[in-house]
Chains A and B, each alone.
Chain A
């Protein structure tokens, strides 16, 4: 049996989306797993205002899992997304060697810096608009983000 769980599949799907990979297949003996994204264009929106196309996953076993693309997923109940107010590059820390501004589980005050968004060589600090707890960090360090892209899932305090 291939040693892979839902979390790993989600990570793979996110990686595929980011890298523009359409299909991924892994074989081990008689077991195999194939992850396929439905469109060949990584940015293709649905033509109608429908939810984004899901990543459909089929594996060698009978089990079928449907995983929605992570960034399109809403936050868990009671939680909120902190979204990017600009187009930029996301940095978790003020410098490559420094500690990140926030980690999962941190409780932050209103006005506390969450991350840096670099745009046109300017470092823009993004501050928390309300006291909250960091539940999830949704983008990787040094990853480009677009306008309104969810960066953190937080639980308002």
Chain B
């Protein structure tokens, strides 16, 4: 078993990993930037090492400082959390070379799934349905136009190395194709240092449904049900729920089996997530695979009872996983709201100091956060303040519990998205579970 883990992250996820270490009797080492010296992850880890200035490029992304800290502290393993170095194949390689276990899949798998057009090909050959499209590189405009006619409009151009909506263009009609293609390539080149793009049919309306996978080093692969992450704004997830209100048990088994098969086909190890687009008629397509723990993993933990971060550490230690059967039935229903430090009108991140705060409590409530009264929201990092997770016996109870929890949740001193979440949770379409990824399009006009 791993004895000591360095957590190459900050905020609530660093705290989440420290908690798992504590329960497994593993020593934890926090790393922090100068802006985070007063953070809870620094306080609750067994050891803490300052690795750089506030700018994350020189601290949380500073591979030499993180590896040196790991060597000085004498850790066996590094947990990367999500974001920062979590899906950096080069970092995983270096950990391996330095004899430090990277808690996640192999660097080859990270590299393969990080190249979105390669991932499409791998999934397609594993028999997983992919969105109609092409990864071809085009040498002439003519070829491009013909290929797109075949795919059918509207279509979407995405960066192969991409994520977060950058290098992405929706093309409604052929007139805008060439311009959009050039813009997407240029943006991909400047954002990711790789101008390769791929083209897919733009499906709408769709839901974003993802399956949680666990795979150990002995060929065991299971899925732990799904999460519906269709409530998004500019490709950023805001509310997630599990199970999805849109899935029947037979569709769950079909999609979950496809996800597990995909993971097995690429030799996946540790925790991962296979994302699908699901149409209203129940057709599903592979979108991408995330080779890390996800922000929204707690809702899966709530309805399955599996501690995913502990399982990650156990699997990385070379142990067989505890559960051998996939999960198709659950302990009730869970919802997560991501509370961000944002102005509620324009959704722009707002730094500042939390003067006071009160976290909701009671049965079925979980708050994953690194917040405390006096906490300074730094302009250098992500604006997420807290994840409010509730579980109810069924969806109806979970929704009313979320409403109750949001009413108890107080953060003073900075603007937050708490009120926005209250409006969404009480929206008739949300209450009925009848929403898709376009739910928030035009939301501001309807509600402000």
Contact = CB atoms under 8 A, between A and B. Distances in A.
Given A48-B374, A147-B50, A86 B38 contact: no
Contact of A87 (B34, B68, B98): B68
Interface string B64-78: 111111011000000
B321 interface: no
B47 A43 contact: yes
A1 interface: no
Contacts of B38: 45-49
B72 A144 contact: yes
Interface in B43-98: 43, 45-53, 59, 64-69, 71-72, 98
B98 A120 contact: yes
A15 interface: no
B97 to A, nearest CB: 10
B67 A120 contact: yes
Interface string A17-43: 000000000000000000000000111
A120 B42 contact: no
Interface residues of A, number: 20
Given A43-B47, A48-B38, A87-B49, A147 B72 contact: no
Contact of B51 (A43, A120, A147): A147
Contacts of B98: 120
Provide the main secondary structure of the chain A interface: loop
Contact of B69 (A41, A46, A87): A87
A86 B43 contact: no
Chain B interface residue number, banded? 20 to 34
A120 B69 CA distance: 9
A98 interface: no
B2 interface: no
Interface in A30-78: 41-49
B37 interface: yes
B48 A147 contact: no
A47 B354 CA distance: 13
A47 B48 CA distance: 15
A49 B35 CA distance: 11
Contacts of B59: 147
Contacts of B39: 45
Nearest to B38: A45
Contact of B372 (A44, A47, A119, A148): A47
A109 B52 CA distance: 27
Contacts of B43: 41, 43-45, 47
A147 B42 contact: no
A47 B43 CA distance: 8
B374 A42 contact: no
A11 B45 CA distance: 26
26 contacts: A41-B46, A43-B30, A43-B42, A44-B43, A45-B38, A45-B48, A47-B43, A47-B372, A49-B374, A49-B376, A87-B50, A87-B51, A87-B64, A87-B68, A87-B72, A89-B72, A119-B64, A119-B68, A120-B64, A147-B34, A147-B49, A147-B51, A147-B53, A148-B34, A148-B50, A148-B53
3 nearest CB pairs, A to B: A43-B48, A144-B72, A119-B68
Given A43-B46, A146-B49, 11 more contacts: A41-B43, A43-B42, A43-B47, A49-B376, A87-B50, A87-B69, A88-B72, A120-B68, A144-B72, A147-B34, A148-B53
